[in-house]
A and B are shown apart, each in its own frame.
Chain A
Amino acid sequence: MIKNKINYSQRQYVIGSIFILVAIILLIKLFVIQIVDDSYKHSSNTNTLRYITQYPSRGKIYDRNGKLLVYNDAVYDLMIIPSQAKDIDTASFCKLLNINNSVYNTNLKKAKKYSNITPSIFISQITKEEYGRIAERLYHYPGFYFQTRSIRQYPMPIAAHTLGSIGEVTKPEMEKDSYYQLGDYIGKSGIEKFYEKELRGTKGLKITVVDVHNREKERFMDGAFDTLPKAGTDIILGLDADLQAYGEYLMAGKTGSIVAIEPTTGQILAMVTSPTYDPNELVGRKRGMRYNELLKDPEKPLINRAISGTYPPGSTFKMINGLVSLQSGVINANTAYPCNGPKSAPIKCTHFHGSPVRLYDAIENSCNPYFWQAFQDMMNSKRFENQKAAFKFWYDLVTSFGLGSAVKTDIPFTVSGNIPKMEYYDKVYHGVWNALTIRSLSIGQGEILVTPLQLANVAAAIGNEGYFYEPHYIRSFGNSDDSVSFEKHIINIDQRHFKDVKKGMQSVFEGEHGTAKWSKIPDITIGGKTGTAENPHGLDHSIFMAFAPVENPQIAIAVVVENAGFGSTWAAPIASLMIEKYIRGYVTRKNVEQRVLTTNENPR
Chain B
Amino acid sequence: MRSKTIIGKIDIWLFIIYIALATIGLLSIYAAAFNEAHPHIYDFSQNYGKQLVFIGVSLVVGFIILLIDAKFFNAFAYVFYGLSIICLLLVLVVGSKISGSTSWIQLGPISFQPSEFAKFGTALALAHYLGKLDTDLTKFKTKVIAYGIVFVPVLLILAQGDAGSASVFIIFLLVLYREGMGGKILIIGLVAATLFIVSLCVSKWYIMISLAVIYAFFLMMINRTKKNILLVTGILIAACAFVFSVDFAFHHVLKPHQQTRINIILGKEHDTKGVGYNLNQSMIAIGSGGFSGKGYLKGTMTKYNFVPEQHTDFIFCTVGEESGFMGSFAVIALYLALVLRIIHLAERQRSPFSRIYGYGIACIFFFHFAINIGMTIGLVPVIGIPLPFLSYGGSSLLMFSIMVFVFLKQDANRMNIL
Knowing A34-B289, A41-B290, A204-B272, the reply to whether A1 touches B179 (Cβ < 8 A) is no
- The answer for the CA separation of A125 and B281 in the assembled complex, in Å, is 29
- The answer for the CA separation of A381 and B273 in the assembled complex, in Å, is 67
> Is A295 engaged at the interface, CB distance under 8 Å to the other chain?
no
**Nearest-neighbor residue (CB-CB) of B336 within chain A:** A23
Knowing A19-B340, A26-B332, the reply to whether A1 touches B290 (Cβ < 8 A) is no
Selected contact of A26 from candidates B287, B308, B374, CB within 8 Å: B374
Residues of B within 8 A of A228 (CB): 272
Residues of A within 8 A of B281 (CB): 225
Selected contact of A1 from candidates B280, B320, B352, B378, CB within 8 Å: B352
B387 CB to nearest chain A CB (Å): 12
- The answer for the CA separation of A227 and B379 in the assembled complex, in Å, is 21
Q: Are A44 and B298 in contact (CB under 8 A)?
A: yes
Selected contact of A202 from candidates B273, B284, B290, B340, CB within 8 Å: B273
Knowing A9-B347, A18-B174, A19-B366, the reply to whether A41 touches B306 (Cβ < 8 A) is no
B24-57 residues at the A interface, CB under 8 angstroms: 36
B365-386 residues at the A interface, CB under 8 angstroms: 366, 370, 373-374, 377-379
> Is B248 engaged at the interface, CB distance under 8 Å to the other chain?
no
> Is B268 engaged at the interface, CB distance under 8 Å to the other chain?
no
Selected contact of B301 from candidates A6, A15, A35, A49, CB within 8 Å: A49
B138 CB to nearest chain A CB (Å): 9
B367 CB to nearest chain A CB (Å): 10
Knowing A15-B343, A26-B332, A30-B377, the reply to whether A225 touches B180 (Cβ < 8 A) is no
Knowing A15-B343, A202-B273, the reply to whether A117 touches B289 (Cβ < 8 A) is no
Q: Are B178 and A26 in contact (CB under 8 A)?
A: no
B: contact size bracket: 35 or more
> Is A118 engaged at the interface, CB distance under 8 Å to the other chain?
yes
Q: Are B336 and A19 in contact (CB under 8 A)?
A: yes
Residues of A within 8 A of B262 (CB): none
B227-254 residues at the A interface, CB under 8 angstroms: none
Q: Are B283 and A40 in contact (CB under 8 A)?
A: yes
A75 CB to nearest chain B CB (Å): 23
Q: Are B325 and A31 in contact (CB under 8 A)?
A: yes
**Nearest-neighbor residue (CB-CB) of B335 within chain A:** A23
A254 CB to nearest chain B CB (Å): 48
The secondary structure that dominates the A interface is mixed
Residues of A within 8 A of B272 (CB): 202-205, 227-228, 230
> Is B328 engaged at the interface, CB distance under 8 Å to the other chain?
yes
> Is A345 engaged at the interface, CB distance under 8 Å to the other chain?
no
Q: Are B286 and A12 in contact (CB under 8 A)?
A: no
B338-366 residues at the A interface, CB under 8 angstroms: 339-340, 343, 346-347, 350-352, 359, 363, 366
> Is B133 engaged at the interface, CB distance under 8 Å to the other chain?
yes
Best-buried of A33, A118, A207 by chain B (most CB within 10 Å):
A33
Residues of B within 8 A of A432 (CB): none
What per-residue 1/0 map shows which CB atoms of A8-47 lie under 8 Å from chain B? Answer: 1101101110111011011101110111010111101000
B20 CB to nearest chain A CB (Å): 16
> Is B303 engaged at the interface, CB distance under 8 Å to the other chain?
yes
Q: Top 7 A-B pairs ranked by shortest CB distance? A: A40-B287, A227-B272, A33-B287, A225-B280, A34-B325, A44-B300, A23-B336
Q: A16-B340, A20-B340, A30-B329 are in contact. List 17 more A-B contacts (CB 8 A).
A: A1-B133, A1-B351, A2-B352, A6-B180, A8-B179, A12-B343, A18-B174, A29-B374, A30-B328, A30-B377, A35-B291, A37-B287, A40-B288, A117-B300, A178-B308, A203-B272, A227-B277
- The interface of chain B, by Cβ under 8 A from chain A, is 36, 133, 136, 174, 177-180, 272-273, 277, 280-281, 283-284, 286-291, 294, 298, 300-301, 303-306, 308, 320, 324-325, 328-329, 332-333, 335-336, 339-340, 343, 346-347, 350-352, 359, 363, 366, 370, 373-374, 377-379
- What are 5 A-B contacts with C-beta separation under 8 Å? A5-B136, A19-B343, A30-B377, A35-B325, A44-B288
- The interface of chain A, by Cβ under 8 A from chain B, is 1-2, 5-6, 8-9, 11-12, 14-16, 18-20, 22-23, 25-27, 29-31, 33-35, 37, 39-42, 44, 48-49, 51, 115-118, 178-179, 202-205, 207, 220, 225, 227-228, 230
